[in-house]
Amino acid sequence: MALYNDTVMDHFLNPHNVGEIEDPSGKGIYGSPVCGDMMMVTIDVDENDVITDAKFKTYGCGSAIASSSMATDMIIGMTVEEALTVSNKKIVEELGGLPAIKIHCSVLAEHAIKNAIWDYAEKNGKHYAGLEGYNPTEDSEEDDHHDIPAAE
Amino acid sequence: MREVYLDYSATTPVKEEVVREMIPYYTEVYGNPSSLYAPGLRAKEGLTNARQQVADLIGANPAEVFFTSCGTEADNWVLEGIADQLKDKGNHIITTKIEHHAIIHTCMYLQKYHGMEITYLDVDEEGFVSPEDLENAITDKTILISIMMVNNEIGTLEPIKELAAVAKKHGVLFHTDAVQAAGNVPIDVKDLGVDFLSMSAHKIYGPKGIGALYKRKGIMMPSFIHGGAQENRKRAGTENTAGIVGFGKAAELARVNLDSHIAHSRELRQYLWDQIQAKIDLVRLNGPKDFDKRHPANLNVSFNYIEGESILLLLDAAGISVSTGSACSSGSLDISHVLAAIQVPMEIINGTVRFTVGDFTTKEDIDYTVDALAKVVDTLRKLSPVTGKEGW
């Protein structure tokens, strides 16, 4: 009886796509060490709008790292529009589930990827339906993925 | 794979000698200690002997020792019992911000359902409670003060004798949760001047499911469980005979071996800390810097830029058991209230690991652990987007 299932443990112990792409097409950061987790994603996008590479660095618990690994696996080979539909729910499904208390960790990856795509879109004057009205520089607190209860 | 257990403050293995004493109480001496025939009386004799052994560990009279199901029950009993007993005198309890949840959650319950007012004393950056702060917090409504003897996370040894003297000066009852202290520091309840003291068997190489409350002779307090004459009518229910006998033996061993246990723990704890500092950079010690004022086996260390649960899981994969103060540690998303109370920054709290060595820990275990730890920290730092260049 382990805290995480085998898929999660495999991605945690041997994470895929670790690192940072030099001169990436887009770069996104989400979270902070104060909140308990933080993820940085860099992506490369080709002329057909396909994500050809994605790399991440994550500060966080086992499920944050496993979600980062799985999410980057998932978006490599997708078009940008497809990648924008990768929700935390899909990441959890691919991982075969996370403990209820850890579901928020998968939101980290969804947001960091969205931020990387936003960065790519801004730099290249692109518009995507999935980014409609989204601006990570404005609403960092609005949809905070964490709700850490106050210390007793 | 080598297995290294470094979480003796969570629980300890039961020593062979203890198990050997316990087994007959399951199979041969199975009588109910309340029965008047020979098998019952033999079981009762086991309880009497164990009560003496536990009393001897803390310098108490056996009549002042009441067995409970755990340390948490002992804590609950004192707080709820005195709140009831002295409700006409006052409704104020003083405790600290770094108590175990057995105290804090019981205080929250008493506040919510019994109209009690609770003062949670601040501590300094090493976790020490100030006797002056305690004195200033006492009012004419104060009926009980509860301050732990040794903190379970950062190992701080509180100045219980001085704190209890302040309580006595103002005529207020004083309880100390000594679950982490018993068997790790010398305890003499008369010298300390405490009125109540909680302890637990499974922290001193005894079985789980058994604890005790010391209640100074003459103090009135309602029974905690009703329905029988056990524990001098204070705590009814057929006794956990084997558990009590095991607790007694563990207490005797703890008393006899106290000096060697402390020396062994301190030596390995120092070696662990020296090796961590030698092999890993950007680490921070939490709790008392002066190891004389700290639980002999406790080391609480933060590793910059990485998160505690990840450290725990990777060490677990290498066969090493430790615990963490991280918010993300399994089961809850609460950060360590103890590390918050000593003003450790949030991002540092999340990278905190508690190591506690014990009687079965060897120098080779420490070497193995620090080697593995250095690799784990390196791996996680390479994986971390936090480098310190951005400001923390």
| Residue-wise pLDDT tens digits, B135-167 | 999 999 999 999 999 999 999 999 999 999 999
Residue A150: predicted pLDDT: 37
pLDDT tens figures, B336-359:
999 999 999 988 999 999 999 999
- Cross-chain residue pair A59–B305, CB shorter than 8 Å: yes
Residue B331: predicted pLDDT: 57
Domains and CATH numbers, chain A: 6-122 (3.90.1010.10)
Mean pLDDT of B170-188: 98
Question: What's the token pair of residue A150?
Answer: 């106050």
Helix axis angle for B38-58 and B241-256, nearest 10°, is: 30
- Whether B226 has a pLDDT exceeding 70, the answer reads yes
Residue A72: predicted pLDDT: 98
**CA angle B239-B242-B244, nearest 5°?**
65
B383 backbone dihedrals φ, ψ, rounded to 5°: -85, -15
CATH number of the structural domain spanning residue B208: 3.40.640.10
- Regarding whether B152 and B38 lie in a shared domain, the answer is yes
- Whether B330 has a pLDDT exceeding 50, the answer reads no
Mean pLDDT of A11-29: 97
Rounded to the nearest angstrom, the minimum Cα separation between A86 and chain B is 22
- Regarding whether B270 and B227 lie in a shared domain, the answer is no
Picking from B219, B238, B256, the residue at the C-terminal end of a domain is B256
Picking from B256, B285, B311, the residue at the C-terminal end of a domain is B256
- Regarding whether B289 and B250 lie in a shared domain, the answer is no
Type of residue found at B98: I
Q: Is residue B8 part of a domain?
A: no
- Cross-chain residue pair B309–A62, CB shorter than 8 Å: yes
- Regarding whether B155 and B47 lie in a shared domain, the answer is yes
Dihedral (CA of B11, B12, B18, B19) sign: positive
Those residues of chain A whose CB sits closer than 8 Å to some CB in chain B are 3, 12-13, 15, 18, 29, 32-34, 36-40, 57-62, 64-65, 99, 101-102, 105, 146-149, 151-152
- Regarding whether B247 and B285 lie in a shared domain, the answer is no
- Regarding whether B171 and B36 lie in a shared domain, the answer is yes
Picking from B215, B241, B256, the residue at the C-terminal end of a domain is B256
pLDDT category at A34 given cuts 50, 70, 90 is confident
- Regarding whether B263 and B238 lie in a shared domain, the answer is no
The yes-or-no answer on residue A61 being catalytic is no
Residue B332: predicted pLDDT: 60
- Whether B242 has a pLDDT exceeding 50, the answer reads yes
ipTM for the whole complex: 0.89
Q: Please give the residue that has the higher pLDDT: either B334 or A32.
A: A32
- Whether B287 has a pLDDT exceeding 60, the answer reads yes
Question: What's the token pair of residue B179?
Answer: 């679950």
Q: Strand, coil or helix: what is A73?
A: helix
- Whether B388 has a pLDDT exceeding 90, the answer reads no
Type of residue found at B230: Q
pLDDT tens figures, A135-151:
888 755 444 444 443 33
Name, in order, each residue with C-beta under 8 angstroms of B171's C-beta and a sequence gap of 6 or more. Answer: none
- Cross-chain residue pair A149–B334, CB shorter than 8 Å: yes
Instruction: Please state, as a whole number, how many other Cβ atoms lie within 10 Å of the Cβ of residue B387.
Output: 11
Measured distance CA(B48)–CA(B232) in Å, rounded: 12
**CA angle A8-B354-B197, nearest 5°?**
125
Q: Is residue B232 part of a domain?
A: yes
Inter-CA distances, B355 with A64, B270, B282, B313, B331, Å: 24, 12, 17, 14, 19
Structural domain that includes position B37: 16-256
pLDDT tens figures, B100-128:
999 999 999 999 999 999 999 999 999 99
CB-nearest to B385 from A13, A29, A149 is A29
Report how many Cβ contacts below 8 Å link chain A to chain B: 92
Measured distance CA(B68)–CA(B234) in Å, rounded: 10
CB B118 within 8 A of CB B169: no
Q: What percent of chain B has pLDDT over 70?
A: 97
- Whether B14 has a pLDDT exceeding 80, the answer reads yes
Q: What is chain B's Cα-based Rg?
A: 22
- Whether B53 has a pLDDT exceeding 60, the answer reads yes
- Regarding whether B370 and B271 lie in a shared domain, the answer is yes
Measured distance CA(A39)–CA(B288) in Å, rounded: 34
Q: Please give the residue that has the higher pLDDT: either B346 or B203.
A: B203
- Regarding whether B266 and B236 lie in a shared domain, the answer is no
Mean pLDDT of B6-17: 98
- Regarding whether B204 and B300 lie in a shared domain, the answer is no
- Cross-chain residue pair B306–A59, CB shorter than 8 Å: yes
Does residue B282 sit at the A interface (CB-CB below 8 Å)? Answer: no
- Regarding whether B343 and B218 lie in a shared domain, the answer is no
Our count of domains for chain B comes to 2
Residue A142: predicted pLDDT: 43
Residue A1: predicted pLDDT: 55
Q: Is residue B185 part of a domain?
A: yes
